[in-house]
Amino acid sequence: KADLPTYTLAQVNAHISAKTDGIWVVYKNGVYDITKFIAAHPGGTKILLASGKSIEPFWQIYAAHNHGDVHKILEGLRVGNLDPVDVKALEEERVKKFGAGPYANEPMRHPAMKINSNQPFNAEPPPELLMETFITPNDLFFIRNHLPVPDIDINQHKIEISGIGFGQDGISLSVEDLKTTFKQREVITTIQCAGNRRAEMSQIKQVNGLSWDTTALSTAKWTGVYLSDILAFYGIVDEDEVGIKHCHLEGLDRDITGQAYGASIPIATALDKRKEVLIAYAMNDEPIPRDHGYPLRAIVPGTVGARNVKFLGRIILSDEEYQGFWQQKDYRGFPPNVDYSTQDFHRFAGASIQELPVQSAITEPRTGQTWPLEGSEEVDVMTVKGYAWSGGGRNILRVDVSLDNGQTWQEATLAPEATAQRYGRAWAWTPWTLDIDIPDDIDHLDVVVKAIDSSYNVQPDTINPIWNMRGVLNNAWHRIHVPIQK
Ligand code: HEM
Ligand code: MTE
Ligand code: MO
């Protein structure tokens, strides 16, 4: 590119009109004329948002540009080099915004998200926005990252499958191989973090972990191929075969020692077609956003979020569980009597969490939020909203709401998309609503919810019997306190 002219950022800034000087953008040290490309851009006229500017911040949101092919198109539009002084200035601006080091290349996030930690990035959506739709929009889907988000070129990416039945070297498949070899499948599923509602658990006695409220869960439609189809293609259909017990799922996000995020699921889950375990390449009809696992992600319906491994790089069939930290030391249920002061507390770690227990919560109103009385009507009504969900595909049979701490109950109305789910394959949540008549002469309401799943499992009424030092698996009755404004 040495023969191309050099331009300053100020000159690029002036190229914002297709009619006069053309529309230019910059990317790293290159200057590009996109005037003729705009009409052909697969993402439409959004590209104009970057007119005269750097496209980098935009490409941080839209992972689909993370492609050798896209960079080839871009180079075809090159008209010059950016003045090295401006290249340095842009880089400094980027570092100021995103920081330096392992977290310098994180994607952009929706400003409405409530951030629980920045590095790694963890955030949950406001409950009122989350419950507006059955399927959560991608940019409002809760984010739970243990490590920096990797930056993967989809064209170079190959998923490796090894272990029992595949030999040590195993095989590898590109994203294209997956799409062309196996039948395309769709699954609508809710992903819930084991730490959802941890904040309430800490009110009983401090637990360790991110302080999640009630919205460390979201729902999406995932497109991909069944893991059971892939394994069957290579002749693995029987879980009793030569000692296969676990299916490891390993991501491409790594800590500074090189240890990847990884997890495992029982081989029975991986092989069972009815469990619909997916190797997904799309989320709500878009390439999976970087935060949610671009370019490939394991979707394990009905199973705790932690096993839905993002940025999937390797699948290994084994006679033992995955040995990484988050399978062995975390995402396990400790008994209520064990805490960090207990001698050798790791000894008490229970089995790794897989299917989650029945859950429900109220999302509107929020606890502490004052409810204004209309005053005009005979009886004032408060609309209460929330979700229910159970692990293992168990359907929600009923959602009960009480205003007197469980003495009497009213039945909520369940969302039709939810109740239409097949028996034993209710992977998605059950949104519910109930209009409550507000009694006269009260200054507050204490509202309680519980759900019942298709195994007639119920939620515990208090947190005490399920308290655990990691603050996972909180599915006690959810309670809110609502002051009534007279
Ligand atoms: C999709 C090229 C700039 C927004 C795409 C795709 C290509 C492309 C090839 C299809 C990718 C795929 O689906 O495999 C380019 C080039 C650009 C540019 C060469 C600069 C010269 C931008 C900018 C924005 C943008 C600045 C936003 C402000 C989008 C969106 C999609 C898309 C929304 C749809 C895919 C998605 O939602 O993830 N672009 N693009 N693009 N592009 Fe661009
Ligand atoms: N996969 C990888 N590779 N790295 C991670 O940090 N976090 C897990 C799981 N998969 C994680 C991962 C946890 S604990 C949860 S709850 C879900 O991803 C969160 O998925 P989301 O960020 O798409 O909401
Ligand atoms: Mo999680």
Comparing 68-72, 171-175, 196-200, 233-237, the range with the smallest average pLDDT is 68-72
Q: Do 472 and 333 meet the contact criterion of CB atoms below 8 Å apart?
A: yes
The rounded distance, in Å, linking the Cα atoms of 201 and 212 is 10
State whether the beta carbon of 175 lies less than 6 angstroms from ligand 1. no
CATH 3.10.120.10 in the chain, residues? 6-98
Q: Which residue has the higher pLDDT, 105 or 25?
A: 25
Does residue 376 have a pLDDT over 80?
Answer: no
Determine the pLDDT at residue 340: 86
CA distances from 468 to 55, 116, 321, 324, 460 (A): 47, 20, 23, 21, 14
Q: Which CATH superfamily is domain 6-98 in?
A: Cytochrome b5-like heme/steroid binding domain (3.10.120.10)
Per-residue confidence (pLDDT) for residue 460, from 0 to 100: 98
Between the CA of 379 and the centroid of ligand 2 the distance, in Å, is 45
Residue 335 contacts residue 350 (beta carbons within 8 Å) = yes
Residues of the chain with CATH 3.90.420.10: 158-348
Q: Does residue 1 have a pLDDT over 80?
A: no
What is the mean predicted confidence (pLDDT) over 335-356? 92
Instruction: State the pLDDT at residue 377.
Output: 63
* Options 2.60.40.650, 3.90.180.10, 3.50.90.10, 3.40.50.720; CATH of 359-485: 2.60.40.650
pLDDT of residue 241: 72
Pick the atom of ligand 1 nearest to 63's CA: 38
What pLDDT, in 10s, does the model give residues 238-294? 887 778 999 999 999 998 788 999 999 999 999 999 999 999 999 999 999 999 999
How high is the ipTM of this complex? 0.83
Instruction: Find out whether the beta carbon of 32 lies less than 6 Å from any atom of ligand 1.
Output: yes
pLDDT at 300 over 90: yes
Question: Side chain identity at 439, as an amino acid letter?
Answer: P
Ligand 1 atom nearest 154 alpha carbon: 14
Q: From ligand 3's centre to the CA of 262, what distance in Å?
A: 12
User: Where in 34-113 does DSSP place strands (E)?
Assistant: 78-82
Task: Please check the confidence at residue 445 and state whether its pLDDT lies above 70.
Answer: yes
- The rounded percent of the chain whose pLDDT value lies above 70 is 99
Read off the pLDDT of each residue in 213-226 and give the average, rounded to a whole number.
Answer: 98
108 ligand 1 Cβ < 6 A:
no
Distance 259 CA to ligand 2 centre (A): 15
What fold does the segment set 158-348 form as a domain?
A: Sulfite Oxidase; Chain A, domain 2 (3.90.420)
The pLDDT of 190-215, averaged and rounded, is 95
C-alpha to C-alpha distance for 286 and 305, rounded to whole angstroms: 20
- Rounded Cα distance between 408 and 372, Å, is 25
Does the pLDDT at position 2 exceed 80?
Answer: no
pLDDT for the residue 373:
86
Q: Which residues line ligand 2 (CB under 6 A)?
A: 141-147, 191, 193, 251, 253, 261, 291-292, 305-306, 308-311
Kindly report, as residue ranges, where domains of CATH 2.60.40.650 are found in the chain: 359-485
Q: What is the mean pLDDT of residues 111-130?
A: 95
Render pLDDT for 25-54 as a digit per residue (tens, 0 to 9).
999 999 999 999 999 998 888 899 999 999
Q: What is the pLDDT of residues 241-256, one digit of tens each?
A: 778 999 999 999 998 7
pLDDT score of 239? 82
Residue nearest to atom 41 of ligand 1 (CA): 47
The candidate with the shortest Cα–Cα distance to 247, out of 271, 276, 279, 274, is 271
Q: Whose CA is nearest to atom 14 of ligand 1?
A: 64
Q: Which residue has the higher pLDDT, 2 or 483?
A: 483
Place of tokens 């599915």: 475
Nearest Cα residue to atom 31 of ligand 1: 43
Atom of ligand 1 nearest to the CA of 50: 26
Which residue has 């705790």 as its token pair?
304
How much is the mean pLDDT over the chain?
A: 94
H/E stretch holding 430 reads strand 430-438
For residues 414-442, give the mean pLDDT: 96
